[in-house]
Chains A and B, each alone.
Chain A
Amino acid sequence: MVNKESADAGDIARIVFRQILDGDRLKFIAQSNITDSGGGARDLRFRSWDKMEETLRKLFPGSRTEKRRRGTGNALEVYTGHLIWLQKNGKEVSKEAVLEPPTDARPNEGRITRVHEFGCFTINPPSDGSGRLIALFVQKDDGSVWPFVITERSLEHDQWNPAVAEFLLSALNAPRREGNAAYGFIDFVSGEKLVR
């Protein structure tokens, strides 16, 4: 648990993370997970919607009604926010991102849609020796949300904030079923955290 008193001195309000599995990496560069399938949803999924919703909504504070692209085509309220990142030339980019609530088929799973359209995810960290990958959605006190893709090796060897590195590494190493991605959040304002 991060000490709120020390957190008050920083400028990060909360971090949502999700481990990136090999299939997710292909989604980011708009390729199918399964070679011959020719497609596949390019979404980043979060299970435990009942536990994640409140925090994810802080990152996606807007909402609008859309027609669901899959299934029945019924109207659906989706949540919107902006992701901000720096291009290689240092220029800041902001793009609207959409968070879809669960479907009937997956009643406890939300998703950040069309992740392949975000340049911040197309960076391709070296896989050899870099360990596992994590997508971070870092929300600052001013409400802006900055996504990053980072490596387990960097968390272990580079000069990360120790509270953040320890939390993420312990989340990666928490016991879970093989093939399931680690995900969760740490909120420096409320002091809450979740690891799945």
Chain B
Amino acid sequence: MTVNFSSECLEVLRALSERRNVLISGPPASGKSRLLAEVALAFEAKFAAPTPSSGPVLVPGAAVPIPDTPPTSSIDPELQKALPSGTRSDRKVFRTVFHQNSKYREFLTGLAPSLSKPGAFEVTNGILFRASEHAKTAKGVSLLIIDEINRGPAVQVFGGAIVAIEPEKRLGADGSAQYGTQYFELLDPTSGQMIEYAFPHHLYILGAMNQADVSVEPLDVAFLRRWAPYSLGPDEAVLRTYFGLTPQTQPMPSSPVNAQDVYEAVVQAWAKVNGRIALGRVREFQIGHGIVMAPSGTAPTDLHEALALATRSWNAIRAHLDEVFFGDMRGLAVALNATGQTAQHPYNLQEVFFGDEPKQQLTGPAYVTPDNVFAILAAVAE
């Protein structure tokens, strides 16, 4: 059996091979974390076939579900072509997440109090430095994954290294200095002295961010142009495949007969809400398809379990809407299709008075339950 990776994964790997630095962006739940995990798995792909003494492997559809010789794992030919530094065998993935308190010294090098010698300081080995050093070894190749790259002070964390990550400013494939190699000053963890440092050819950096989540400072254009962009977005086709739904031409029933009816309502409501967010706010505030998928990975086929899943999904969508339209009750009502255009909508936008001041209020069910979720989804999707 060949291990197959998604086309998105292969595209990111190709972009890494060409540009060394790739930045994945997309709204929440659009599959960024899944894609990061898949790219990491593909990047570390082992070329050796499993040995006959491999432990038990489950093959659910086979005549013998736990066979003697597990299916031979081989590299997808497409992956082999796309894999960055594919001939290097010591493949290592380094992972970090940026946050408000991320610092240059934790990312590259710097001084930090010593735990072993009270009162003394030592030079740190940050994750980018470790990844870079590994990629400088004879067979080494490194992929540094930075999730939530825009939730920390990314420009400060990279510091002077930002120029040196550009592909044409790295060392050569054999580790030698090139005409365009860009050096920057770095506190050397070994000597404790400032040295000139450059990044190796076999170092790859993959960042991910949700453009709607900027908690410290926006990424400036100079920072962004060092990265090859890769965008993910809400994908209805992914959901239709996941739930086994075909494009629907029939009107929605008044109550669900089976799980498919529930999932059709979920997908339609989710798609309509996303369309309204894009109009009322911006595309970056949309919500990805992952928000309505089952955490276990498999959508239940039982009607009651499907309604329970739909309830959880809708509550997550609603929480997102409340955040996106915070302080804008009419915008929220429009997103919910609850401005009075739809007969028997569970929610209703009403004008009330706070003293003499007119206010808008959204009335409706206090709680979403499996008993009322279908009516809500159908009304939102109408």
Minimum C-beta distance from B259 to chain A (A): 11
C-alpha spacing A94/B297, complex, angstroms? 10
Q: Does A11 lie within 8 Å of B68, measured CB to CB?
A: no
C-alpha spacing A91/B60, complex, angstroms? 11
B218 in contact (CB, < 8 A): no
B54 in contact (CB, < 8 A): yes
Q: Does A188 lie within 8 Å of B56, measured CB to CB?
A: yes
Q: Does A164 lie within 8 Å of B66, measured CB to CB?
A: yes
C-alpha spacing A93/B296, complex, angstroms? 12
Q: In residues 259-316 of chain B, which contact A (Cβ within 8 Å)?
A: 296-302, 305
Stretch from A2-10, A20-28, A174-182 contacting the other chain: A2-10
In the complex, which residue of chain B has the Cβ closest to the Cβ of A158? Answer: B64
B238 in contact (CB, < 8 A): no
**A8-B55 contact, Cβ under 8 Å, with A94-B300, A144-B297:** yes
Minimum C-beta distance from A66 to chain B (A): 15
Q: In residues 184-225 of chain B, which contact A (Cβ within 8 Å)?
A: none
Interface of B is mostly: loop
The digit string for A62-85, where 1 denotes a CB below 8 A from any CB of B, is: 000000000000000000001011
Minimum C-beta distance from A166 to chain B (A): 11
C-alpha spacing A96/B300, complex, angstroms? 8
Q: Does A12 lie within 8 Å of B53, measured CB to CB?
A: no
Partner of A84, one of B54, B56, B298, B302: B298
Partner of B64, one of A10, A15, A85, A154: A154
Please name all residues of chain B whose beta carbon is closer than 8 Å to the beta carbon of A90 when the two chains form the complex.
61
Say which size band chain A's interface belongs to: 35 or more
C-alpha spacing A93/B63, complex, angstroms? 18
A86 in contact (CB, < 8 A): yes
Count of B residues near A, CB < 8 Å?
A: 27
Minimum C-beta distance from A11 to chain B (A): 5
Minimum C-beta distance from A104 to chain B (A): 30
Please name all residues of chain B whose beta carbon is closer than 8 Å to the beta carbon of A6 when the two chains form the complex.
53-55
Q: Does B67 lie within 8 Å of A94, measured CB to CB?
A: no
Minimum C-beta distance from B327 to chain A (A): 38
Please name all residues of chain B whose beta carbon is closer than 8 Å to the beta carbon of A146 when the two chains form the complex.
58, 60, 65
In the complex, which residue of chain A has the Cβ closest to the Cβ of B53? Answer: A6
Partner of A93, one of B53, B68, B301: B301
Minimum C-beta distance from A168 to chain B (A): 10
C-alpha spacing A84/B299, complex, angstroms? 11
Q: Does B63 lie within 8 Å of A158, measured CB to CB?
A: yes
Minimum C-beta distance from B50 to chain A (A): 6
B51 in contact (CB, < 8 A): yes
Please name all residues of chain A whose beta carbon is closer than 8 Å to the beta carbon of B67 when the two chains form the complex.
159-161
A51 in contact (CB, < 8 A): no
Please name all residues of chain B whose beta carbon is closer than 8 Å to the beta carbon of A93 when the two chains form the complex.
301
Please name all residues of chain B whose beta carbon is closer than 8 Å to the beta carbon of A84 when the two chains form the complex.
60, 298
In the complex, which residue of chain A has the Cβ closest to the Cβ of B63? Answer: A158
Q: Does A10 lie within 8 Å of B65, measured CB to CB?
A: no
C-alpha spacing A163/B55, complex, angstroms? 8
Minimum C-beta distance from B292 to chain A (A): 16
The digit string for B40-71, where 1 denotes a CB below 8 A from any CB of A, is: 00000000001101111110110111111110
Please name all residues of chain B whose beta carbon is closer than 8 Å to the beta carbon of A82 when the two chains form the complex.
296, 298, 300
Residue among A6, A9, A93, A138 with max Cβ neighbours from chain B (10 Å): A9
Q: In residues 26-53 of chain A, which contact B (Cβ within 8 Å)?
A: none
C-alpha spacing A86/B301, complex, angstroms? 13
C-alpha spacing A90/B61, complex, angstroms? 7
Q: Does A92 lie within 8 Å of B57, measured CB to CB?
A: no
Please name all residues of chain B whose beta carbon is closer than 8 Å to the beta carbon of A132 when the two chains form the complex.
none
In the complex, which residue of chain A has the Cβ closest to the Cβ of B70? Answer: A10
Minimum C-beta distance from A84 to chain B (A): 6
**A162-B298 contact, Cβ under 8 Å, with A90-B61, A138-B58:** no
C-alpha spacing A188/B63, complex, angstroms? 22
Jot down 21 A-B pairs with beta carbons below 8 A, ordered by A.
A2-B55, A8-B55, A9-B50, A9-B53, A9-B55, A12-B55, A12-B57, A82-B300, A92-B298, A93-B301, A94-B298, A96-B305, A138-B66, A140-B58, A142-B297, A150-B65, A159-B64, A160-B67, A161-B66, A162-B68, A163-B56
Binding site for A on B (CB under 8 A): 50-51, 53-58, 60-61, 63-70, 244, 296-302, 305
What 7 additional pairs, Cβ within 8 angstroms, besides A11-B56, A93-B301, A142-B297?
A: A7-B56, A84-B298, A138-B65, A159-B67, A162-B68, A163-B55, A188-B56
